[in-house]
Amino acid sequence: MDQSLVGRSFPPTAPYAVTEDNVRAFAEATGATYGGGPAPATFPIVLAFGAMNAFLEAEALDLFRIVHGEQRFAYERPIVPGDVLTATLSVATLRQIGGNDIIGTTSEITDADGALVCSTSATLVHRGPES
């Protein structure tokens, strides 16, 4: 991976319609119950993960070599069913340590009006074959 990636933004993900069913499935997968209303705080990862997958595909990186190093969310407002959301990923930093690429990404999650809902940053560790 080369430094020219730093600062690059990738195309926005296809609009994702948040439904009660997919929020409930997400909540129940972590043992919580869901009775409507705001989605769990980590739900925006669904959007960010979609953006990351598109990024990995564009850069021909294997998901199974990715280990998650860090994740941060800053919320403008809670996500609720009915939202139609899009994530736009950009590469903030790139370092090589011990045969691994350490990739810092940020994803801005916006609603159908283009308003920012959540800004999230992730550190992805791409483990090289020799690590």
Binding site for other proteins (CB under 8 A): 22, 25-26, 28-32, 38, 40-42, 45-46, 49-50, 53, 63-75, 77-78, 123, 127, 131
Q: Give min distance, CB of 70 to other proteins, in A.
A: 4
What are the structure tokens assigned to 33, written together? 């119950």
Least separation, in Å, of the C-beta of 4 and other proteins? 26
Task: Give the nearer residue to other proteins in terms of CB position, either 16 or 90.
Answer: 16
* Residue number, 38 or 90, with CB nearest to other proteins: 38
From first CA to last CA, the distance across the chain in angstroms is 16
Q: Which is nearer to other proteins, 66 or 89 (CB)?
A: 66
- Between the alpha carbon of residue 72 and those of residues 48, 122, 130, the distances in Å are 11, 7, 29
- Backbone φ, ψ for residue 45 (5° rounding): -60, -25
- The least distance separating other proteins from the CB of residue 8, rounded to whole angstroms, comes to 23
